[in-house]
Amino acid sequence: MSAMFPWRRLLVWSATAAVMIVAPLVFTQGFAVSMLSQMGIAIIFALSYNMLLGQTGMLSFGHAVYFGLGAFFAAHALNAIGANTLGWPVSLLPLIGGAAGLVFGVIFGYITTKHSGTPFAMISLGIAEMVAACSLMFPSFFGGEGGISTDRVVGKAVMGIDFGPSIQVYYLIAAWCFVCMIAMFALTQTPLGRMANAVRDNPERARFVGYNPTRVRFLMLSLAGFFAGVAGALEVINFELITAERLGTVASGNVLLMAFIGGIGHFYGPIIGAVLVTFLQSALSNYTQAWLLYFGLFFLVMILFAPGGIASLLTLHKPAVQTRTLGRLLLPYAGAAAAAAVLMLGLVALVEMLYHLETKAEQVGTVMSLFGRQMDTATAQPWIVAAGILVVGGVLLAFVARFVRSGWAHVTVAVNRAKGI
Amino acid sequence: MEFFLVTLLNSLSYGLLLFMLSSGLTLIFSMMGVLNFAHASFYMLGAYFAYQTSTYVGFWPALVIAPLVVAGLGAITERYGLRTVHKYGHVAELLFTFGLAYIIEEVVHLIWGRAPVPYRIPEILDFSAFSIFSTQYPAYRVFMMLISVAMLVALYLVLTRTRIGMIIQASLSHPDMVQALGHNVPTVFMLVFAGGAALAGLAGVIGGNAFVTEPGMAVSVGTIVFVVVVFGGMGSLAGAFIASLIIGAVQTFSVAFDYSLLSLFGTIGIKVNTESGWMELWKVTIAQAAPVLPYLLMVAMLIVRPKGLMGTREG
Amino acid sequence: MPAALELKAVHKSFGKTAIINGVDLAIEKGERHAVIGPNGAGKSTLFNLISGRFAVTSGSILLNGEPITGLQPQQINHRGLARSFQITNIFPKLSVFENLRCAVLWSLGYKYSFWQRVGGLKDVRERADELVGMIGLQKRRDTVAGVLSYAEQRALEIGITIGGGADVILLDEPTAGMSNTETADAVALIRNVTVGKTLVMVEHDMSVVFGLADRISVLVYGQVIATGTPQEIRGNKAVQEAYLGAEVE
């Protein structure tokens, strides 16, 4: 077994870099660069979260603490740079955020990593609540309700780069994102990274081959705190504002959703999750007030039917591609997608009408426009129609599921034949 | 003295309420290994259902109906949700309840809006039960305590005197053995989950009007209940009871104290540099620090005794 | 020269139930020692005490003359003692090779390193591949351990145990649940991998015990009622009464 040069890996990383460089040139709408920047930050954050959940088996409900504290320290550092009391290049500000994340990772990690599993989850939540509650007590550091605002255009421009235009900020974030991705991937390939997997799968056995699971968890949490802090500092550069909301439990829950939806079992899963969730959140929140509900339902459906996330759905289809039987699945999938679309149409109509009735009816009346139609939410007709569509969609989906199953049976036969069984 | 007695009674009624929540959470956790993140959501639903029911038929029927509806929802959650994800392990179960809590909050937004609803205590209980010196103590608080204690006694009797209680106790320690003896453990799980949800729902019915019924109540109470369970020791009912009372007292008493470290320094004669950056810390009063105190207590307990007060399980 | 492993008046109770009732045992360097006894005698508990999984209630345990009582399992492992488990205890989601790599990392000095690429560590790779060969799983090298057959998992269990290069090896029922041919393979494997090491094993299969062990201790109700060579144990009246009579024809 000679260590071959990893051409494949080099290719994947080069392609990733190319996508990150080209993306803002392709998506030129005004909001696109801002969204891409947010995606870059979310990718770092979600990957750092997965160092805990996916790689070490630690379910944390408080990871935003490290992101947020890193961000606050970075914001104060940036203000100090602006006031000329600190000489530090803005492009290296993430190191300050990372250091803060690391320090708090060490402190809280010491307390929490003696536990694992469910107790760890609860304690991480308690720590997060504690930090969130503290943030209201110390307004000079956390800036109270308004947060800490700052200005990223400080100091002299280096080669014409002063981080004024958002495109410059994007490329700074992209560069940091790329470096962090490589660093976090490299970490999975080290003795600590491999033992983290071992501790995740069987902490007791890890003890008997010489490793202290508590120490492994502690180191992983501290390092994850570093990367979360880097992401937090980038957030400060991007928005020039940081509020205590960003270290709260909602933010912690959000990064958990990203990692989980993307797939915690694969290194690239959280990247998919970060991109998708960031996109959905800003796209959906523009159109509907109920987006959190849709989002929650999406999450629940994923847990029930695809607990490995999107990444595992992709790998699931690898054998079908290899045996050239993917075609057998396409038609059933198209049918299922159509049925699911009908189901969602009914669901969305019901939810949107409810929201309208509850929140807007008093100001603008009970008539609303939905999918280009006017309907009066005070009458029974639209409700009956929407409920009808929902039921029809459900029945259709149950019907189509049969074809998906038979399609998969076909794939399984082909795969077994290829294996020679 | 007067202040102390009134606050003590308040903290007792609040602590008992916390125990109604933490006991259900503990039972579910120790039996099924599932930490029910949505437990406080059931508490919230109890309050909202009671509010809605009481607008039609009044408080007293609501006191019975709301917990039963919540119990039904709990049973459905266990049967069609948790049991499906059980095969994926505890993390998936925990995440399922987490997602559920998320959705319940949004559904509450959807149906009842974001503002608090006017869920009030029934008029028949809106009088003062007795007076402590010059303070009139509200009868509703006494009623809350009575309900909580009655629930406690009922829970104790169910666990120690009934067949199902024996099975629950046995399956706490030896789930496989109980299954091997032919008891239907999945059904027991569903009943325990529904029972825990009912307890939470009942707590919501009597707590929702004593405090405030709003969409944020699940999160604010939920995390405190977690603190109670960690502080008391995971899986220990006795620990949860003591911790409920302690945390209840800490929360109730702390909001009433206006002392800060600065006033302490003043009393013992330490001069503080008012220009120092630490001034903000010295000036924080206990009342201002009240939201942090339960979590600080939890952290202190974890450092001193990682298993919690009466815990038997290591993390 | 101190004994490889020495137990002095070791007691262990769970609540009011005493499981180990004053065990004294000295195992010499290079010895193959079997612990036998009826079910519930406390054999597995004894292993759990030695390896640090449970804390002793009283008494002391010495490894190469150094006290290890009260140490954590990983600390005892660092001092040169490794164990296997009666119920297979491997890393089910990792491949055979990765399982063995985890077992050798510490002993080769990499500890908690997060600055070295594990794939580039030649000594780790060679040692892990050597172990793959020793336990005869070359064809299964990159298979996920969770899907191996029972006998293969048992072999992997032994491989993980010896991987760290410990010189005192505890094997807890290494052949339990195996067919005759599998047992013969396992015995050959154990003999092969414990050359020059001290071996202590719990075993129910008497042909394995009498074939492998230099000395045998008989544990009944938490006490060692006899220790001696296989011949001495065979001829011991008390042992025959308490235990052997029924199982050895």
pLDDT, tens digit, for every residue of A317-351?
A: 888 888 888 888 888 889 889 999 999 888 888 88
Enter the tokens of residue A23: 């993306």
Q: Give the CATH fold of the C1-80+200-249 domain.
A: Rossmann fold (3.40.50)
Q: Does chain A touch chain B (at least 3 C-beta pairs within 8 Å)? A: yes
With an 8 Å Cβ cutoff, are A209 and C160 in contact?
A: yes
Answer whether residue B215 shows pLDDT above 60. Answer: yes
Q: Which of A233-237, B7-11, B299-303, B307-311 has the highest mean pLDDT?
A: A233-237
Q: Using an 8 Å CB-CB cutoff, list chain A residues near B281.
A: 138
Answer whether residue B175 shows pLDDT above 80. Answer: no
CA–CA gap between residue A241 and residue A245 (Å, rounded): 11
* A190 contact C CB<8A: yes
Strands C223-228 and C215-220: antiparallel
Sign of the four-CA dihedral C217, C218, C223, C224: negative
Among residues 3-32 of chain B, which lie with CB inside 8 Å of chain A?
Answer: 29
SS3 A252: helix
With an 8 Å Cβ cutoff, are A194 and C163 in contact?
A: no
CA–CA gap between residue B53 and residue B215 (Å, rounded): 18
Looking up tokens 């109700």, which residue turns up?
Answer: C221
Of A121, A253, A358, the CB nearest to B35: A121
On whether the CB atoms of residues A377 and A356 are closer than 8 A, the answer is: yes
Mean pLDDT of C61-65: 94
Q: Which residues contact B116 (CB under 8 A, 6 or more apart)?
A: B212, B213, B214
The predicted complex's ipTM stands at 0.91
H or E segment at B131?
A: strand B128-132
Where are the alpha helices (H) located in A28-63, listed in sequence order?
A: 30-56
Q: Using an 8 Å CB-CB cutoff, list chain B residues near A114.
A: 302, 306, 315
Q: What is the pLDDT of residue A415?
A: 83
Long-range pairs for B1-5: beta carbons < 8 A, 24 or more residues apart? B1/B133, B2/B132, B2/B133, B2/B134, B2/B135, B3/B256, B5/B132
With an 8 Å Cβ cutoff, are C77 and A192 in contact?
A: no
Q: What is the pLDDT of residue A1?
A: 40
The neighbouring-strand residues paired with A375 are A368
**Higher-pLDDT residue of A398, B186:** A398
* A130 contact B CB<8A: yes
- For chain C, give every domain's residue range: 1-80+200-249
Residue range B56-89, pLDDT digits in tens: 988 899 899 999 999 999 999 999 889 888 888 8
Answer whether residue B267 shows pLDDT above 80. Answer: no
Residue range A199-233, pLDDT digits in tens: 999 999 999 999 999 999 999 999 999 999 999 99
Q: What is the pLDDT of residue A162?
A: 79
Q: Does chain C touch chain B (at least 3 C-beta pairs within 8 Å)? A: no
Q: Using an 8 Å CB-CB cutoff, list chain A residues near C113.
A: 190-192
CA–CA gap between residue A392 and residue A405 (Å, rounded): 20
Cα dihedral C125/C131/C136/C137 (nearest 10): -40
On whether the CB atoms of residues B240 and B2 are closer than 8 A, the answer is: no
Interface residue of C68, C74, C78 to substitute, partner A, most A CBs within 10 Å: C74
Looking up tokens 């067949």, which residue turns up?
Answer: B163
| Cα radius of gyration rounded to whole Å, chain A | 24
CA–CA gap between residue B204 and residue B73 (Å, rounded): 14
DSSP summary character for residue C144 = B
Q: How confident is the model at residue B313 (pLDDT cuts 50, 70, 90)?
A: low
Does the global pTM surpass 0.95? no
With an 8 Å Cβ cutoff, are A115 and B315 in contact?
A: yes
DSSP summary character for residue A266 = S
Residue range A168-197, pLDDT digits in tens: 999 999 999 999 999 999 999 999 999 999
* A210 contact C CB<8A: yes
On whether the CB atoms of residues B202 and B46 are closer than 8 A, the answer is: yes
Answer whether residue A419 shows pLDDT above 90. Answer: no
CA–CA gap between residue C189 and residue C175 (Å, rounded): 11
CA distance, residue A82 to nearest chain C CA (Å) = 35
* B297 contact A CB<8A: no
What subunits make at least 3 CB pairs under 8 angstroms with A?
B, C
With an 8 Å Cβ cutoff, are B230 and A134 in contact?
A: no
Looking up tokens 């503290």, which residue turns up?
Answer: A134
CA–CA gap between residue A249 and residue A291 (Å, rounded): 18
Q: Using an 8 Å CB-CB cutoff, list chain B residues near A139.
A: 280
* C102 contact A CB<8A: yes
User: Which stretches does DSSP call E strand in chain C?
Assistant: 5-14, 17-27, 32-36, 58-63, 66-67, 81-83, 168-172, 198-202, 215-220, 223-228
* A212 contact B CB<8A: no
